[in-house]
């Protein structure tokens, strides 16, 4: 059934938030920034509500916008009023929030899995109703089935989805944990993570895999540190340990440079 919508200003006091877990307080930094934006530019997108039998309205989407209006002590807010079509309020709220990107990754995972497990929507149906790609939906359906330590770091934002997919493919728990730690500590790219994972998987013995992996991780770490060869002693040192000397271009300091630059206090020498 096609839904009918109406746009109008409604009172904040008439808005119910049942089925909508408000994830923000009016003093949150993001809400303050949004309130300032609304003050200067106005509300760019109305909230979405559904009428109740008692004349009030159920919030479907726009919890952050609602909280920003409350912080500004506004009495009314522009809202799209969506007529009831028999779809459960929680389902409508989840779909609206996913469509409008009003969720973080953990909340997206919860929403998509609710639609799949409780509402019995197929991945294709979820893709159609939310406007997201099938891969987007499949990734969020898969996250609860990742190894726990991988899923936890992913949902906390310390690794990306691509990192999680690569790390999760390592079956040996100790190697998987080692790779996960290397990724977070050294901030490895997905490509570097894939290379390190391949070394773990291709090495026959557990001890050999750990040794080879640590060596590669160390090499990656060293290549990520900017270095320069000292012009005086020829030793390659981290750039932070090299002193750069500014001289006149007409050669006034040439004799001193030819003798080399003295130790700068950090054990490094250099010249330009």
Q: Considering only CA atoms, which of 226, 250, 224 is closest in space to residue 237? A: 226
Q: Tokens representing 88?
A: 């459960």
Cα 8 to Cα 44: distance, rounded to the nearest angstrom = 14
Neighbours of 122 (CB within 10 A): 11
CA–centroid distance for 173 within its chain: 25
Q: Which residues pair with 202 in a beta bridge?
A: none
- pLDDT tens digits, one per residue of 98-120: 776 767 888 889 889 988 988 88
Is the distance from CB of 151 to CB of 139 less than 8 angstroms? no
Strand ranges for the chain from DSSP E: 5-11, 15-16, 47-51, 57-61, 76-82, 227-229, 236-238
The pLDDT value given to residue 111: 86
Distance from the first to the final alpha carbon of the chain: 75
Q: How many CA atoms, within 13 angstroms, populate the side-chain half-sphere of residue 218?
A: 6
Rg of the chain over Cα atoms, rounded to whole angstroms, equals: 28
pLDDT for 1 beyond 50: no
Cα 67 to Cα 62: distance, rounded to the nearest angstrom = 9
- Name the percent of the chain lying above pLDDT 90: 19
Helix (H, G, I), strand (E, B) or coil at 170: coil
Task: Write down the pTM of the prediction.
Answer: 0.52
Cα 37 to Cα 29: distance, rounded to the nearest angstrom = 12
- pLDDT tens digits, one per residue of 161-190: 999 999 999 988 888 988 898 888 888 888
How do beta strands 47-51 and 76-82 pair? parallel
Is the distance from CB of 99 to CB of 130 less than 8 angstroms? yes
Q: Considering only CA atoms, which of 109, 105, 99 is closest in space to residue 157? A: 105
Q: Which residues pair with 11 in a beta bridge?
A: 76
Q: Which residues pair with 237 in a beta bridge?
A: 228
Q: Considering only CA atoms, which of 4, 10, 121, 111 is closest in space to residue 58? A: 10
Judged by average pLDDT, the poorest of 76-90, 115-129, 220-234 is: 220-234
- pLDDT tens digits, one per residue of 177-232: 888 988 888 888 888 889 888 887 787 566 666 666 666 666 665 555 555 667 77
């Amino acid at each position: 059934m096609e839904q009918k919508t109406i746009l109008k200003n409604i009172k904040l006091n008439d808005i119910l938030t049942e089925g909508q877990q408000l994830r923000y307080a009016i003093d949150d930094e993001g809400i303050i920034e949004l309130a300032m934006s609304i003050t200067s530019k106005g509300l760019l997108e109305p909230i979405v509500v559904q009428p109740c039998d008692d004349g009030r309205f159920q919030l479907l989407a726009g919890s952050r916008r609602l909280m920003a209006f409350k912080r500004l002590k506004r009495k009314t807010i522009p809202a799209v009023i969506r007529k009831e079509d028999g779809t459960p309020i929680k389902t409508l709220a989840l779909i609206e929030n996913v469509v409008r990107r009003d969720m973080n990754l953990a909340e997206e995972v919860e929403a998509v899995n609710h639609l799949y497990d409780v509402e019995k929507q197929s991945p294709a149906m979820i893709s159609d109703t939310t406007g997201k790609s099938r891969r987007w939906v499949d990734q969020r359906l898969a996250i609860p089935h990742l190894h726990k330590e991988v899923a936890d770091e992913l949902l906390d934002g310390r690794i990306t989805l691509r990192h999680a997919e690569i790390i999760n493919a390592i079956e040996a728990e100790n190697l998987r944990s080692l790779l996960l730690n290397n990724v977070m500590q050294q901030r490895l790219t997905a490509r570097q993570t894939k290379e390190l994972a391949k070394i773990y998987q291709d090495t026959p013995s557990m001890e050999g895999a750990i040794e080879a992996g640590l060596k590669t991780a160390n090499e990656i770490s060293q290549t990520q540190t900017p270095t320069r060869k000292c012009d005086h002693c020829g030793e390659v040192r981290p750039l932070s340990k090299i002193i750069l000397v500014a001289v006149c271009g007409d050669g006034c300091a040439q004799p001193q440079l030819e003798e080399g630059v003295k130790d700068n206090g950090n054990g490094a020498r250099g010249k330009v």
